[in-house]
Amino acid sequence: MKEVYNQTGKTISRRTLVNVRQQLKRDSYKWYETLRKDNFEYIHEFKERINEILDLQNKHHKIIKDNANNPSIVQTSLAELHRLNITLSNYFDVAPAIVTTRENDNSISESFKGKEDIIV
């Protein structure tokens, strides 16, 4: 509550804080369940993150091209491009594991269909 006050200058009650935390947990769980149950939704989200990185890379290439006479801007954009390349590389490194994990999750789920009542 102190941190909220320090950052916003507004006070909140303990109950409000508890409600916000519970809502965050519910929303996170709902999002997680949606992605867990729907392979295509999860893969779509993953692809969207990759597309965002590719878009940012294109913007930095344009910044570099348009500011060839400004070394500080070029250097900053090159540094950011390097970070984006690492992030993109990491995404591509984990992509095969995601597909494999998602397939395993589905086969496990299929083997328990109709037996939900025995899962504790």
Residue 5: CA atoms inside 13 Å, Cβ hemisphere, count?
6
Interatomic CA distance for residues 35 and 29, integer angstroms: 10
- Residue 83's pLDDT is 95
**Cβ(80)–Cβ(60) below 8 Å:** yes
Q: Which residue has the higher pLDDT, 31 or 100?
A: 31
pLDDT band at 81 (very low <50, low <70, confident <90, very high): very high
What ranges do the domains of the chain cover? 1-37, 38-111
**Cβ(53)–Cβ(88) below 8 Å:** yes
Interatomic CA distance for residues 91 and 106, integer angstroms: 22
Contacts of 99 (CB under 8 A, 6+ apart): 43
Interatomic CA distance for residues 42 and 35, integer angstroms: 5
Q: How far is CA 23 from CA 17, 28, 35, 54, 70, in A?
A: 10, 8, 18, 33, 47
Q: How do residues 21-64 score in pLDDT, each as one tens digit?
A: 999 999 988 888 877 777 677 778 888 999 999 999 999 999 99
